[in-house]
Amino acid sequence: MSKGKIVIADDEPDITFVLKRMLEMEGYTVWAANDGQAALDLYRREKPDLVILDLFMPIKDGVAVCAEIRREDESVLILMLTGQKKDTDKVTGLTAGADDYLTKPFGEKELLARVRSLFRRPNR
């Protein structure tokens, strides 16, 4: 039985591959996209519990995708996962509707802890 459904979006295929495999090994059902529009399409089709977004992606960036998802669904969990470490980038992502923000490089244990923490939130 799946612990939850997750869509991952990052323009680096190696990252989506590693994240997908890691999360599937933890019992999650995972879909991956390499651009913002594909992420939105997967979100709308699969209705995930959590969306993990890179900030900078082709076609639509993570902030635009986050804001669009948030307009459609206030309860879906959103984690921004990006190499952008400036406070202004973090604030932009959180203001767009992200529930959490993790910078690259990240540790597997920290990512999994944040995912578990998000899934524990009430009213999700």
pLDDT given for residue 90 in this prediction = 81
Question: What is the tens place of the pLDDT at every residue in 105-115?
Answer: 889 999 999 99
Contact 88, 110 (CB under 8 A): no
Question: What is the tens place of the pLDDT at every residue in 88-108?
Answer: 878 888 888 999 999 888 899
pLDDT given for residue 93 in this prediction = 82
pLDDT given for residue 104 in this prediction = 86
| Residue 19: C-alpha distances to residues 5, 9, 91, 123 (Å) | 13, 10, 24, 25
Question: What is the tens place of the pLDDT at every residue in 33-77?
Answer: 999 999 999 999 999 999 999 988 999 999 999 999 999 999 999
pLDDT given for residue 105 in this prediction = 87
Class of domain 5-120: alpha beta
pLDDT given for residue 47 in this prediction = 97
| Residue 6: C-alpha distances to residues 19, 89, 92 (Å) | 10, 23, 22
